[in-house]
Amino acid sequence: MKRIARIIAIALALLLVFATLGWAMMPRWDIRPYTDHLTVATSDPDIEPANVSIPHEGRYQTRETNITVNMGGGVQLPAVLREPVNASGLRPACLFIHGSGTSGAEDFGDIANAMASAGIVTLVPAKRNDDYTVLHRDYARFANEYSRAMDVLRGTAGVNPNAIGLYAESEGTWIATILAASRKDIAFAALTSAPVFKGREQMAMAVSAYAKEAGAPRAVIKDMAKLMSLDYAPFDLAYADFDADRYLSTLTMPVLVSYGTYDTAMPIEQGAQRIMAAAHRVGNGDVTVRYYAANHQMRAGQGLFTPNLPLADGYTQALENWINGVVAERGNGSADAEDAVSHTSVDAASWNAAGVWTTPQIAGVQPHQRFAAPERTDSGIIGSLGVLVGIMAAGPVLLAVAMVLGLGVAVTSLSRRRSLRVRIKGKRAALHVRPLMYSVAGPFASGPSGPAAVSEAPTSQSDTASGLSSATPSPGIAGPCWSLGIVSATTTMLVYGYLTVVGLASVYMQPFPRLFGVCWAVLQVLTVLLVLTYAVQLEYWWRSRRCLTGARHAICGIMAIAAFTSLTSMAFWGLFTLPVQF
């Protein structure tokens, strides 16, 4: 009973320690539901300029030309130039900037061709991927390269140099704002699926929404957001802290903001409000916002990776009408860049009264952003992704080391026991054989059968037993230590596997709420079982500390450290958190 009481006391103390660690590792912020919702004035996303006539989609036949763009340093990238056939006069032009999911010159083909059919020259250059990875992205370099592509577009015959703007999607909107900081000749900017916030702030909102859609428990949703609070410097993820807010002040030109209401990765309402506020601060009230029943790629469907989805209804028409309207409202782009910038400084409150457009500033499908992007992402006591990865890896590695050493000790011990049994068996046989030899050879015999040989043999079975006892190894580690290793390895693999499956289900939008909830409860039970097993091993180790050899002490110690690090990792992932509902 005393031993059981000790084990229970140790287990309770461990539960308290790891629950406290879990609390201390929580970031000092939380993902909260978004409540400051926008209201669309009409469900019709169409855009029409006031008092001017513009060409619409399908007005012209289009021509495609494959060209190359010199990006500097001897790098030549392919690009596709699309032009309206037989369009008179100088034409407006649009440069396309890739997001993270596209990079080829053939991308954006349907959007760029639709624009060209409405009289807008388009250029889609390929994006360099030689230094573009999950771990490293140089947005300033991309801005410089797209600036070169813009110069090529500016020098294209038939293009009005004062009516060139940008179309940027997703991550490309960050590049567009950097480009706008270095060039004052950008006539317009169409920003689609813009993240707006810093990478970690936007991703904290996105992963929370993804995990929620997948049916993950509340603790797991908080875990996903918790990752966004870590310092990524050891992994060169500095772009997670790209200061998007700093470059919003460059949006002095007319801006079209477009979002898909199925896009849970972007701050579809919060982002639009921030862009409007930033533009208003620099005197630009010409910001138009449109929402579509579309996903992140503005495709008419919720599947993020579903191929061959059509573009959302009315999307390209609104883009073309807006671009042509901006150019027509400026006098077909004849004003120089400085005049164009000052001309767009329309107070937001009088946006419609200024006579720029006949349609509302905010229109389309009613959006509903589920989570708010946080304004701060302070971490808990674990503030580095490198430290977290080290803790997560240390448990399995130390456990493997302990188990290998334990197997080595077990094999050595078994070998010694077999050798000892052979020796004892030989000595027992000698007790029966040697007296007979002594009697036959006589007391004067020499050699192995002489008195010396008899004196070396055990004189009784008690001596034999004593020899066996003295050679028996000290207490082994087969019981509590091996149990701890098995339970720790099993629980760790299941936890990491569960988090991987939830992550994949979140990305691919495959909800399994009941399954994920049940599995999470099972993992919490297994975690408590691991704590109990850990308590048994610690109690055993303390009780047997004087009997264990140095090797066995080391194995038990390594096993204990491995279990501690594994439990610390589980505390980070919220397995000691009581279930809480939204």
Same domain, 402 and 522: yes
Residue 113 lies in a domain: yes
Provide the 10 A C-beta neighbour count for residue 456.
11
- Cα-Cα-Cα-Cα torsion 563, 564, 565, 571, nearest 10 degrees, comes to 110
Whole-angstrom distance, CA of residue 337 vs CA of residue 379: 44
- Residue of 120 and 468 predicted with greater confidence: 120
> Which of 335, 364, 393 is the last residue in one of the domains?
364
Whether residues 124 and 256 share a domain: the answer is yes
285 and 397 in one domain? no
- pLDDT score at 412: 77
The reply to whether 303 and 415 lie within a common domain is no
Residue ranges making up the domain that contains 141: 62-198+242-364
Do 357 and 391 fall into the same domain? Answer: no
535 in a domain, yes or no?
yes
| Same domain (yes/no): 348, 397 | no
Among positive and negative, which fits the CA dihedral 234, 238, 241, 246?
A: positive
Q: Taking the model in full, what pTM does it have?
A: 0.74
Q: Does position 526 have pLDDT exceeding 70, yes or no?
A: yes
- What are 54-99's pLDDT values in tens digits? 999 999 999 999 999 998 888 899 999 999 999 999 999 999 999 9
Rounded Cα gap, residues 265 and 285, in angstroms? 27
Residue 231 forms part of a structural domain: no
Helix orientation angle between 513-543 and 480-507, rounded to the nearest 10 degrees: 160
564 and 480, same domain (yes or no): yes
End-to-end CA separation in angstroms for the chain: 43
**Would you say 228 and 203 are in contact if contact means Cβ atoms under 8 Å apart?**
yes
User: Residue 117: is its pLDDT beyond 50?
Assistant: yes
Judge if 100 and 24 occupy the same domain.
no
**What does the alpha-carbon distance between residue 240 and residue 243 come to, in Å, rounded to a whole number?**
9
Residue 228 is encoded by which pair of tokens?
A: 């966004």
What's residue 202's pLDDT?
A: 80
At 124, phi and psi to the nearest 5? Answer: -115, 100
What tens digit of pLDDT does each residue of 484-524 get? 888 888 999 999 999 999 888 877 777 888 899 999 999 99
In a domain, residue 446? The reply is no
pLDDT band at 31 (very low <50, low <70, confident <90, very high): confident
Radius of gyration over alpha carbons of the chain, in Å? 36
219's CB contacts (< 8 A; 6+ apart) are 520, 574, 575, 577, 579, 580
Domain count, the chain: 2
Q: Give, in order, the Cα–Cα distances in Å from 430 to each of 443, 464, 466.
A: 18, 11, 17
How many Å apart are CA 115 and CA 320, to the nearest integer? 6
Q: Residue 363: enclosing H or E segment and its boundaries? A: strand 362-364
Examine the domain organization and report whether 7 and 86 are in the same domain: no
- List the beta bridge partners of residue 357: 49
Sign (positive/negative) of CA torsion 545, 551, 555, 558?
positive
User: Half-sphere exposure (CA, 13 Å, Cβ side) for 150?
Assistant: 27
Tens-place pLDDT, residues 127-185: 988 877 766 788 889 999 999 999 999 999 999 999 999 999 999 999 999 999 999 99
pLDDT computed for residue 381 by the predictor: 83
Residue 566 belongs to some domain of the structure: yes
Q: CA-to-CA distance for 409 and 475, rounded, in angstroms?
A: 12
Are 20 and 127 members of one domain?
no
More confident residue, 527 or 304: 527
Banded model confidence at residue 53, pLDDT cuts 50, 70, 90:
confident
pLDDT classification of 331: cutoffs 50, 70, 90: low
The answer to whether 143 touches 172, Cβ cutoff 8 Å, is no
Q: What is the pLDDT of residue 465?
A: 43
Q: Specify whether the CB–CB gap between 294 and 312 falls below 8 A.
A: yes
Strand-strand pairing, 255-260 and 189-192 = parallel
The answer to whether 176 touches 191, Cβ cutoff 8 Å, is yes
Distance CA 141, CA 174 (A): 12
Give me the residues paired with residue 32 across strands.
Answer: none
Do 107 and 181 fall within a single domain? Answer: yes
Secondary structure (3-state) at 354: coil
Q: Is 401 inside any structural domain?
A: yes
Structural contact between residues 193 and 258, judged by C-beta atoms closer than 8 angstroms: yes
Residue 580 located in a structural domain: no
In a domain, 379, yes or no: no
> Which pLDDT value is given to residue 522?
94
What DSSP string describes 236-272?
A: T-GGGG--HHHHGGG--S-EEEEEETT--SS-TTHHH
Mean per-residue pLDDT for 215-234?
79
Distance of alpha carbon 491 from alpha carbon 224, whole angstroms: 20
Q: Is the separation of the CB atoms in 49 and 328 below 8 Å? A: yes
Do 406 and 302 share a structural domain?
Answer: no
Alpha-carbon distance of 524 to 300, in angstroms, equals 40
Q: What is the CATH number of the domain that holds 353?
A: 3.40.50.1820
